[in-house]
Structure 1
């Protein structure tokens, strides 16, 4: 049996290839950390906290989207309406991973949400275009009505429609199936994490087959 000496030149070539691959991976990681994205986050503070996460981030001039709802509370013996998060521990934050990592480290009650079965420390993000469309829909409505995924049932999905005209021109989705109501509401989902229904002018609705 003939023994061969290791090919040093081949080993060096393989080493260079591995170094290049590692450099590319590191470069991509750094680019991703410096890219602004819509991160899905959670706020672990109590519902009556004076400075919830969305207010903290707004004070830092960071764009935040938090679905809100109204509730009646008693203050100094009087009933007043106040706006609170629809889902206490859900907020969407637009910033770089690098900047948010610093804030998360300083704020134990602010955390990233992670993909189930995803890679190690891979936080959930929402595509920028999808997030913008969802926010546009919410901001176009006077009375957006939010739903958690658990509240949505197959029976709630009505006709498939396309919106023609108005701020949601071109948007396709399903009408909210409601009995005995003349008001048409469009049901919109955001990555199965959050749903909202908004009132739509019937003149803008085109039924799809």
Structure 2
């Protein structure tokens, strides 16, 4: 089951900024997808630990991690912010080019994106957002599957995601583009039942 659409109109970032704070949406190619309700505890436990390990590994380095809600604006060219039609809020992003960061979040492609799958968002993250991140040029995209205890890793090669690598959530796994970031899955899952 996909995420609910706001309606059949197309929108821009200017529209997005006018919506009330309690109405959370992501824009992908102008289509407004309603954000799911608060995720399950297991989602938050894993996300928080992966983000903590990432932040610790990147301390003092130019790359910076951010967790949702954090707007990532993906312009198609040089359009002004108001005209951007794609704004997403990944669970975790790492941005290495600080020129992409501003007070509203990130304008441009993050280097690494992590989505922790929830039953209500899995199809959206696996299909729609994977295609978006590939088109935009995200260098590495991880999909963490808490129920199946695996992580699916897409790496950009020659402008496209090839076949993904799939790893069990055990031992450790280094981020391909950020080898100093090594996720210890035992620690990430220590509070997950």
TM (normalized to structure 2)?
Answer: 0.27
Q: Which has the larger radius of gyration?
A: 1
Greater percentage in helix: 1
TM (normalized to structure 1)?
Answer: 0.25
